[in-house]
Structure 1
Amino acid sequence: MKEKIKAYRFPIILLSSIVTGSIIGLIFGEQATLIKPLGDIFINLLFMVVVPLVFFTISSAIASMDSMKRLGKIMGSMMTVFILTGIIASFFMLAATVIFQPGSGVDIPLIEPEEVEEISLADQLVETFTVPDFVDLFSRSNMLALIIFSVLIGIATGLTGEKGRPFAKFLTSGSEVFMKIIQLVMYYAPIGLGAYFAALIGEFGTALIGDYAKAIIIYYPVSIIYFAVGFTCYAFIAGGKKGITRFWKNILAPAATALGTGSSVAAIPANLQATKQMGVPKDIRETIIPLGATIHMDGSCLSAMLKIAFVFGVFNMDFTGFDTFLTAIGVSLLSGIVMSGIPGGGFIGELMIVTLYGLPIEALPIISAIGVVVDPPATMVNSTGDAVSSMLVTRQVEGPHWMEAAVD
């Protein structure tokens, strides 16, 4: 019990600070806005470090992926499965948010520019994924362009071979340094978030608290249904009725480990043991499970979609239309697959939501609070999704009769 409490210690502290700040806001009303600068300092510190953090973490991670070159077929199948399950998870939560509309009970005004320039879809794509000058990469408003540049740097570094190793070490060192900066900034998070929510609740009242309760009520049942129904369907696709039996016979230990520790990485040993009992070949399970713990997060796709819908509701923005839904699915997928492979990727995913939709920086702590409260079921879905994905990859690589082989 003590270990479980220790694993969730920091989320509990953050949640406590948010609750405390909210109570202060309820008691003092608009007077609580006097401590808002303490919250603004925290937000500004995060935005200050985000550009170099994204560059170093992504480029260093890709530069060190030498072993993946030997695993062409498994890797191709793995990415196909990861992307498809991530899209399905995003659609699943999208349907729930359209029906229940989280964040719709309060209206925080969103200040828009007086004149908005109309641009074509082609030009919009060019401006989203590229910038005309190198210095433009240093702006957080060009986050996707920065991500693409970081990926290219990582690939180029890896392909350079021996001559690129000193630069790869520099990227790794830079990643460690900026993650340490984030760690130092996060020591201030309880004060910053507490102050921010005191001001927020003081200004906008109890309606916002009700919206958080609504978001939690939506996420927990949806994640459990996805875990039970979605993973059962995946197991059936992978191995028929026998696949369902083997999956549910062995998945409870990894699920409990992930739920108890709050870490997909901590569940890797239990997941490896479970997939061994399921009959997943050694080379596949030892590739999919460790990589899946860092770059495959169905639970994060679910929460990213909820965050997007929530913040749209809070800022009274229109969350309807094919283009809006397609963008939301793309951002959720990026948060759940690409960004999750980065230390602190959840935070970077939240930053990406804010920047891509042109939201004010005040939106960041609003959606970050959702990440804190939905973390336990999200981690469970993330971790167990890796096990069922390894079954699907085995089905794709070994053929339909893979379960008839003896467990190695």
Structure 2
Amino acid sequence: MKKMGLLPKLIIGIVFGIIIGAISKSTGTYFVAKIFITFSTIFGSFLKFIIPCIIIGFVAPGIADLGKESGKLLAVTAGIAYVSTVIAGTLAYFLGVSILPKIIKVGELAEKSKLDLKPYFTIQIDPIMGVMTALVMAFMLGLGMSYIKGKTLFDVMKDFQNIVTLVVKNVIIPFVPVYIMGIFIKLTIAGEIFKTLKAFSSVYAIVLLLQVAYILMQYGLAWFVSGKKPFKAIKNMIPAYFTALGTQSSAATIPVTLQSVKKNGVSDDIADFVVPLGATIHLAGDTITLVLASMAVMLMNGQNPTFAGMFSFILMLGVTMVAAPGIPGGGVMAALGLLQDMLMFNPAQQGLMIALHAAQDSFGTATNITGDGAIAIIVDTIAKKRKVKNKVKLTEVKVQKV
């Protein structure tokens, strides 16, 4: 029997959360509700503890792995992927600023019910370090391991990464639906649930439209650089797009992505280099979702998503996305630390972001890998132009010698 995926479990958690919350509110009996609220509070505390571990465990080895590759093509590919992610996030911000205030009542979730249910008890689990400290530590370790080319520390970090993966896979992911249930129980009792669902149904529509528009933009740029017809190139990438919709994994889609990219005339050596790398560092689709969803959460809680604050978030998001493919739950797990420290999201808001991201994870992944195809075309064109240029220089040298 096939295991139930995270999204169906989250949906079940949300539905049960609304039902339990509604029954508790109508009967005035909050015993069961408070059990789940207690669990969500403790789990939220554990989530805070694990975030720095996720950052160090995934970002440091990820940067070290990138550093082990050499050559200008690595720098070119990584640069294009990073710029693409930042542009995607920036476009999402400006679209969000233009549309979200029209469909979301600012501060509507800040208008809380007088009833504020407290957990039966709490357990304080302090993180070993702050999120920004963890990021700086991850950069220092990653760049350092790359520079010294030492194997001992790298193996230790990979073992630590495996331990964190086990915790995320066997503790965080299985209990996230129960955590979300507790959050939705509280939202229902506070009378906020239908405002939340109504607002985010509109946000999803904007996210999906921008993701499609961004794919078109990427292939428009690839056409400008290479001369390859954009719609034909996108047509060749359709098998990879739908495979990503089914697998929800950039890594699992790599074999199909490679076939699609090579069908677009990208040379084998460039495709074999760019596609696996892009699956690791290019998450434009996830960035679009995270930016728009976080802005919606902020607006609903009476916070103002300023360009300065959001652009800093986007710049850091582009870096932390390096960790995302190695973590079950991907982009949102890697971004939790930034949401906490840069956008000041509390555990309940982080829980909402997990649920919102999971609901569209397939489309975000499909956008990511389809964009990898455009990057592969651009890098292949640059590489071919460099080869031609080098041949011309070599010919000139030979002529001068004669």
Shorter-chain TM-score range: 0.7 to 0.9
The partner residue of 2:312 within 319, 327, 331 is 327
Write the deviation string for residues 187-227 of structure 1: whole angstroms up to 9, x where unpaired.
22222211221112221332122122222222122222323
1:236 partner letter:
W
Match of 1:138 in 2: 128
Match of 1:376 in 2: 362
1:223 touches 1:299 (CA, 8 Å); kept in 2? Answer: yes
When residues 48 and 201 of structure 1 are mapped into structure 2, their CA distance, relative to the original with a 3 A threshold, is same
3-state DSSP of counterpart to 2:249: coil
Match of 2:267 in 1: 281
Match of 2:141 in 1: 153
TM-score, with structure 2 as normaliser: 0.82
After superposition, where does 1:346-385 map in structure 2 within 5 Å? 346=331, 347-385=333-371
Write the deviation string for residues 111-153 of structure 1: whole angstroms up to 9, x where unpaired.
9xxxxxxxxxxxxxxxxxxxxxxxx99333xx23321221211
User: How far, CA to CA, are the matches of 2:292 and 2:68 in structure 1?
Assistant: 35
3-state DSSP of counterpart to 1:266: coil
Shifted more, 93-102 versus 325-334: the winner is 325-334
The partner residue of 1:16 within 12, 18, 23 is 12
Seq. identity, % = 20
2:65 touches 2:146 (CA, 8 Å); kept in 1? Answer: yes
User: How far, CA to CA, are the matches of 2:231 and 2:304 in structure 1?
Assistant: 43
User: How far, CA to CA, are the matches of 2:67 and 2:135 in structure 1?
Assistant: 20
After superposition, where does 1:158-237 map in structure 2 within 5 Å? 158-161=146-149, 164-185=150-171, 186-205=173-192, 206-227=194-215, 229-237=216-224
TM-score, with structure 1 as normaliser: 0.81
Which structure has the larger Rg?
2
Q: How many residues align?
A: 364
3-state DSSP of counterpart to 1:279: coil
* Displacement of 1:24: 2.6
Match status 1:340 vs 2:324: yes
Match of 1:85 in 2: 84
User: How far, CA to CA, are the matches of 2:142 and 2:170 in structure 1?
Assistant: 26
Match of 2:63 in 1: 62
- In the alignment, structure 1 segments of 5+ residues that lack a partner are 112-135, 403-408
Match status 1:50 vs 2:51: yes
1:351 touches 1:364 (CA, 8 Å); kept in 2? Answer: no
When residues 235 and 147 of structure 1 are mapped into structure 2, their CA distance, relative to the original with a 3 A threshold, is same
* Displacement of 1:395: 2.3
1:15 partner letter:
I
User: How far, CA to CA, are the matches of 1:191 and 1:148 in structure 2?
Assistant: 33
When residues 104 and 287 of structure 1 are mapped into structure 2, their CA distance, relative to the original with a 3 A threshold, is farther
1:17 partner letter:
G
Match of 1:300 in 2: 286
User: How far, CA to CA, are the matches of 2:111 and 2:322 in structure 1?
Assistant: 29
- In the alignment, structure 2 segments of 5+ residues that lack a partner are 113-125, 389-402
User: How far, CA to CA, are the matches of 1:181 and 1:264 in structure 2?
Assistant: 21
After superposition, where does 1:84-123 map in structure 2 within 5 Å? 84-101=83-100, 103-104=104-105, 107-109=108-110
User: How far, CA to CA, are the matches of 1:341 and 1:10 in structure 2?
Assistant: 16
1:200 partner letter:
L
3-state DSSP of counterpart to 2:190: helix
Aligned alpha-carbon RMSD (Å):
2.7
User: How far, CA to CA, are the matches of 2:61 and 2:5 in structure 1?
Assistant: 29
1:299 touches 1:381 (CA, 8 Å); kept in 2? Answer: yes
Write the deviation string for residues 39-64 of structure 1: whole angstroms up to 9, x where unpaired.
11221222222222321222223334
1:93 touches 1:306 (CA, 8 Å); kept in 2? Answer: yes
* Displacement of 1:259: 1.0
